[in-house]
A = this chain, B = another copy of it.
Amino acid sequence: MVDKKLSHINKQGNAEMVDVSEKEITSRTAIASGRIIFPAEVFKQLQKDDFLSKKGSITQTAIIAGIQAVKKTSDLIPLCHPLRLSKINIDIQPGENSLDIECLVKCNERTGVEMEALTGVSTAALTIYDMTKALSHDLEISEIKLNKKTGGKSDFGV
């Protein structure tokens, strides 16, 4: 599979946005996830304060920041296509000394929304970092990955 794809390599190694104009418009979904890990003591403190920081509600702010970042994906990732999106949902749940983020994106387009979902997770995690860094800089954003995508040439994670 790898070999087949790389036969399409751009000869000069220059960046180009690939042509999707001949691809069919289909209903596409992507789900990505990731987490931000806290020192145990900090996580306990956050939980006690119901995930409020001096900058406000951590999870609500992170969800809104993530949703807005999903819409900026093609501005952030140079070779992403600008897309209309039909649904964005971000969920944040406490894990073991972590906040676990999941982002779902849907569209009816000629190309998929993996990068949108990953950008949503990533920006939500950065926002949580920003809102808790007054407590500690020993934070780590980790395990950002795609869980599932449907609607394209090949599905993933189903």
Interface residues of A (CB under 8 A from B): 1-3, 5-6, 8-10, 13-21, 27, 34, 41-42, 45, 49, 52-57, 59-61, 63-65, 67-69, 71-72, 74-91, 106-110, 114-115, 118-119, 122-123, 125-127, 129-131, 133-137, 139-146, 149, 156-157
Contact = CB atoms under 8 A, between A and B. Distances in A.
Nearest to A55: B79
A72 B71 contact: no
A52 B13 contact: yes
Nearest to A128: B77
Contact of A64 (B3, B78, B146, B149): B78
23 contacts: A5-B135, A9-B49, A13-B60, A14-B59, A14-B90, A15-B55, A15-B64, A16-B88, A19-B86, A34-B141, A56-B60, A56-B63, A56-B79, A61-B79, A64-B65, A68-B78, A69-B76, A72-B76, A76-B123, A78-B127, A79-B131, A82-B84, A142-B142
